[in-house]
Amino acid sequence: MDLPNITTKRETLSDNAYQVIRDAIVSLRLEPGQMVYEAELGSTLGVSRTPIREAFRKLMAEELIEVQPQRGARIAYMSKKKIDEARFVRISLEANAFKEVAKLWNPEEARFQRLYTQVKGILDDQKKMVDEQNFDTFFQLDEKFHYTLLETLGNNTLISIINQMRGHLNRMRYLELQETKHMRRLVTEHEGIFDAITSNNVELTERLLSEHILLLEGSMNDLIQKYSHYFRL
């Protein structure tokens, strides 16, 4: 199992364990249906079972891990219903959040100047990852683009809800991107969304973000058929 040792990280061990395991689930390194064990993961990550147990609790709350009585824990299978629900929630909440950022955008304010520089840096890094075909880092930067803009509002409840829902959707997005190779198109869409935000164009921001989230929906049924062992419908 190719997971990083986390003993030297600054954050708490349980938070770190949660993030590392969650990333492995989303990127399908821990596959749907795979059994996982506290002791094994603790050994792999270089921590005791306690942080792993706490991470499991969080992941069970997100329904990314399921408890198997007398057997241990299992990575939850993917579900079309869950994915559709997550996509609906994400469009509903994230579109409204991005619209609010577009309303608030003021290039004269220092915080928006800093945000502009930060987002442009993310987009430049994404382009480099497209050229290098570095899929994993590209996907991380994709997440960073969205969260950087969401964090502008300072609404931790919003971010928490979206984060919980994105786990189910992101596994499908990861699978879809591997198959469709739409990386460059996604960067172009990010640039369009950000241009709409910085132009205070609320309606265009909403439309572009919704289209962006729905981009990969069309390939879902084909992927479910191809990777049927990942799904429990």
Same domain, 116 and 152: yes
Same domain, 114 and 223: yes
> Which of 53, 75, 97 is a domain's end point?
75
User: How many degrees, rounded to 5, is the angle at CA 196 between CA 148 and CA 166?
Assistant: 40
Residues (pLDDT < 70) of the chain are 1-2, 4-11, 233
Same domain, 60 and 92: no
Same domain, 116 and 197: yes
Per residue in 127-147, pLDDT tens? 999 999 898 899 999 999 999
Same domain, 117 and 190: yes
Residue 6 lies in a domain: no
pTM: 0.87
Same domain, 54 and 114: no
pLDDT at position 11 is 59
pLDDT at position 7 is 52
Query: Do 93 and 210 contact (CB within 8 A), yes or no?
Result: no
Half-sphere exposure at residue 11, Cβ-oriented, CA atoms within 13 angstroms: 9
Same domain, 45 and 89: no
pLDDT at position 87 is 93
Residue 93: CATH number of its domain: 1.20.120.530
Residue 95 lies in a domain: yes
pLDDT at position 71 is 82
Domain with 87, as residue range(s), is 80-230
Same domain, 70 and 84: no
Number of domains in the chain: 2
> Which of 75, 90, 105 is a domain's end point?
75
Residue 157 lies in a domain: yes
Same domain, 32 and 146: no
Same domain, 93 and 179: yes
Residue 7 lies in a domain: no
pLDDT at position 107 is 98
> Which of 47, 75, 103 is a domain's end point?
75
3-state secondary structure of 65: strand
DSSP state, residue 75: E
Same domain, 28 and 106: no
Residue 4 lies in a domain: no
Q: Structure tokens of 2?
A: 């190719």
Residue 65 lies in a domain: yes
Cα–Cα distance, 106 to 112 (Å, whole number): 6
Q: How many CB atoms lie within 10 A of CB 171?
A: 25
Residue 71: CATH number of its domain: 1.10.10.10
pLDDT at position 10 is 41
Same domain, 154 and 216: yes
